[in-house]
């Protein structure tokens, strides 16, 4: 199943598919947000934004608008977990 990081539910995991070209700050890539890496939604802030993700071992918080630019494929493991 495909979607973006913004669609993930808490605890759900996915693999990063592609990143909208040039739309993301290079900093996010440096923190490990690269195609092929795994991403997990750890927490959602009380007002639903920002979100807290674990990407490739980096724990970072980003806003939903940015998360929506990261295309992912949900992994089986996460889907059965839910």
Residues in touch with other proteins (CB under 8 A) = 21-22, 25-32, 34, 42-43, 45-50, 52, 56-63, 66
Q: How far is the CB of 31 from other proteins (least distance, A)?
A: 6
* Cis-peptide into 50, omega within 30 deg: yes
Asked whether 33 and 70 are in contact (CB, 8 A), the reply is: yes
| Least distance between other proteins and beta carbon 66 (Å) | 6
Q: Which is nearer to other proteins, 1 or 23 (CB)?
A: 23
Q: How far is the CB of 19 from other proteins (least distance, A)?
A: 8
| Nearest C-alpha neighbor of 15 from the set 81, 78, 75, 76 | 75
Which residue, 74, 66, 54, 55, is CA-closest to 3? 74
Residue 1 vs 77, nearer CB to other proteins = 77
């Amino acid at each position: 199943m495909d979607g973006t990081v913004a669609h993930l539910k808490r605890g759900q995991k996915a693999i990063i598919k592609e990143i909208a070209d040039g739309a993301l700050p290079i900093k996010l890539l440096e923190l490990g947000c690269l195609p092929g890496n795994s991403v997990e939604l750890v927490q959602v802030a009380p007002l639903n934004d920002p979100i807290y993700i674990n990407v490739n071992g980096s724990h970072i918080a980003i806003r939903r608008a940015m998360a929506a630019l990261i295309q992912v494929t949900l992994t089986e493991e996460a889907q059965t977990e839910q």
